[in-house]
Amino acid sequence: MMKFILRYGTPLLGVGCLIMIALIITNRELPLHLFSAANMQSFKILFISIILEAFPFILLGVLFSALLQVFVTDEHIRKFTPKNPIAGVLFGALLGLLFPLCECGMIPVVRRLIRKGMPAYIGIVYLLAGPIVNPIVYASTFTAFRTTPAMAYSRMGLAFAVSVVVGLLLYKFMKSSPLKAASAASPFQMIQHGHTHSHRHHHEHTAKGFRGRVASILSHASDEFFEMGKYLIFGALLTAILQTAIDRSTFNAFADQPLYSYLFMMAFAFILSICSTSDAFIASSFTGMFDAGPLLAFLVFGPMIDLKNTLMLLTTFRIKFVLVLIALTAVLTLIGAWITEVFLL
């Protein structure tokens, strides 16, 4: 708790001061109605529901990552990963068909794959496409949009196209690994990590049989879980605050605006941070209010980039790379959703 306060206390205090200054300048009162009993109850329900919704997928992701660490060698990754960039991008975009993980559990898996030798651009393609291009999400989207099944096909196709284009651009222009360097950690963390790695390396070579492998899997999984879990909780907290603060009448102001409706639904998907297996039911509830294009942008951009996985991305990748990835994904999703609405929906 003390580490959290020391790390985030100053930025949060700064945000609070900026809000107070804005209220003073605009001569507005503090919106105390946001702290009503009903809103606080909604906040608690949203916060807990986000945690409970994401928890199984985080757990699944870290367990799968630990299994990769223990059973899959660097040579296996290099052997099965296509060397041709186009084949590699297509491989990454379709990998979700075999390993259908939610976006909540993707980041530890992708980080593990990249560290084991998978080219970074292929890992990023899997990170973007995997939460959407998989049979579970297709089934949920098809169920949510029974009257317009083209929405399910369009969602799969656009997610595939966006991830492939991003992958090809990264292959062309990315010159170094996007992963954070070990040297960026504090000296204490480096010493601790070195000691832990050395201990585990020795343990993995000395432990034999089933019990040794299980112990190694649990050790890796627990480290990944606690590293990712704290950012999931912080992201869920921000998401619940924003969802509680946004009034539903805000939607009506953007629904009839051609460009702003796309941008608003993409921003709304970013804030909501809903799992890709259930966000289609949220999108279908806005069918009468928004056109098909903004709804498609919501369904594609949200699972690729949202608030909680942005925080987790920042723990794994360089800040500059994360910002470029977000901007690139947003622009391609916006253009692709508009083209899809004009010609297909």
Q: For the segment 311-329, what is each residue's pLDDT rounded down to a tens digit?
A: 888 988 999 999 999 999 9
State the pLDDT at residue 278: 72
Residues 82-135: tens digit of each pLDDT: 889 999 999 999 988 877 676 766 788 788 888 888 899 999 999 999 889 988
State the pLDDT at residue 31: 52
State the pLDDT at residue 198: 43
Residue ranges of the chain with per-residue pLDDT less than 70: 1-36, 50, 53-54, 57-58, 61, 65, 68-69, 72, 74, 100, 102, 104-105, 182-209, 224, 227-232, 235, 238-239, 242-243, 246-248, 345
State the pLDDT at residue 248: 65
State the pLDDT at residue 4: 44
State the pLDDT at residue 335: 96
Which amino acid is it at 219?
S
State the pLDDT at residue 311: 86
